[in-house]
Structure 1
Amino acid sequence: MQVPLLEVTTMEVPMEVRSRSVADYWEEEGGWRFEDFEGYLPPEAINKIRSILLDPLTSNEDTMFWKHTANGLFSAKSAFQTYFAEAAPQDSAFWRRIWKLHCPERVRFFVWLATKEKLSTNSRRKIRHLTLDDKCPICKHTAETNVHCLRDCTPTRKIWEDLVPPHEHNTFFAEDHTSWFQMNLNMRDSGERHEDWPSFFALVCWYIWKYRNEYIFQGKKLAGSSFINYVKSKATGWLQAWERTSLQLDCNSKPTRTDRLVCWGAPPRGWSKMNTDGAAQGSTGMATAGGILRDSDGDWLGGFCCKIGTGSAILAELWGIHQGLLTAWNQNTQFLILKTDSQLAIELIRKREDPVHPHSTILTAIRRLMAQNWVVQLVHTYREGNRAADWLSKHSLVYPFGTHELMNPPSQLQQILLEDTLGVSFPRMVVQTQN
């Protein structure tokens, strides 16, 4: 849920219930004590809670995280995207244009602040009662507004006069703040100007602002020609570096792919193999997971189906891995190869991200299980080699909510198990690794 549970209750909640902590509704062996609170909440809230795993042994403290990114960490890009989603359509297109500028992220953020008139100018500082004088510290007789700093101040104006063709000066210097930014950032055909004028314009604004601050706070001199050359060379140099990097990335962005036959493979003697898979149904958001444990002869040792609740695909994958480890551990497995077709899940488990990650609890629980007194290898496989786990994950929808241990394989799964044992292969295009 994206709001406090008290805002979605379906009936009045007694004060003694409100005062309880989350731990009061969780049993280490049985999980959530739904009977204590499900009468107060709608089904969609209950299904969301079902997908949340608590693990008292992790000892993680409650932590705030940024809900608009997958890892819980704030980024300027996610802030822009959140704003776009809430902005009017015409504004949204303009903000997306800013995000696509060929500039460092800090420059895009600066331009966004400038278009919103949020730069810390003396005019803005006076409005916020941080100064009594709103005059420009350079020319000293005009209010220091955004457009004054970036366009109209005497040394700044000389830069634009040098960059913008003379016959365009009247229009360029006559536009108001909003129109000036929109005209320059939306320009498609730059004519006599720099071919990527919107990005060049943004970079020039950034270096003007940077140089002004160096003059005001560090005493750096604003000599006419050197100021112009400084700004032009910085902006031009950055764009040239961007173009070189883009060309290099473009050349390297098309990896060689090759046809490969993929199949399930039995583990070595003395080892067991657990295949897990998780999925979230697009129409309902219902998350499920499944797994199968087999020995070196391909014989069934155990399996499970999980009907988790409402959650994302990556959460379903992590649930599958967690339950796969539990199933194998409870079978007294000593040497385990756990295979999943989610490379992202493997990376999250290995990365040990900041505890603000939304799935930090289940990630910590997985790592704790892997650190028990046994040998576990976590390996990626392609979907063609993970068909039995994929089938069990989809089959989980027929079960009630919760985890269901399977002592014997379902009859509908027998054909896949036979094909796995026989080594039946399926073609797949894979990226060719470089030696």
Structure 2
Amino acid sequence: MILKSPTVGICISDHVQSIPESLKGIKVRDFVNGSGTLDKIGSIQPPNGSLTVDADIFMMDRVDLKAFMWLLKHDRLLTNHNKSRRGFSATTCNLCGHANESTLHVFRECPRALEVWVNKVPSKMHHEFFNLDLEGWIKLNINGSTKKDGGWSSYWAMASLEMDNKVVGRTKEVRLIKWIPPSLSIVKFNVNGACIEGVDASCGGLVRDDEGCWMRGFAKHVGICSSYMAELWGLLEGLMFV
């Protein structure tokens, strides 16, 4: 069976938005060369001459940045807000105590995040930068439109990744803590508090002499609260204990 060249074709302007004026009346068949392969369709520029946010993310060099930015764009990072939706945590921000640790709170609205952005973002951009929704905020920064000089999108992505490591990822630092005995004939009282986020918290304390021998102590169930509040409960109970 011999296929003849079509006399009609699909008009691109009926299916694609924001194409150049010179190409609005052109048909798909006009992009096929004599060998039957596509010739020019790749030359059509995306709307407004810029790539989509997903495409910009894909073009990043570092794999960890690609993965992080994809999770950020789709609101899949394990903030306390997102963990609470799965029943794993309370929504409270552990850094500032705000009632809802959402993605925008972690990366833009928390006082720790504000310290990073307020002096870096030009004042004329503050209203837009600090009021866009998550998708618009990411698009603004990843397209580099916040600053005229190059490199803003990379700086913003790296700074956001650092925030993720410190807040969402809760990068752990292991430190050895040695108990220091008090002076001769003096007793020392230590208190502590700990919690499993969104599940339970407790506090406790003990009194030891100058040789480290246990004298007396206490333990108390606190309930659901942050680790910071558990520490405060330990301090309060310790003061009442002595």
If asked which structure has higher relative contact order (CA below 8 Å, sep 6+), I would say: 1
TM-score by length of 1: 0.27
Q: Greater helix share, 1 or 2?
A: 1
Please report the TM-score for the alignment, with normalisation by the length of structure 2: 0.47
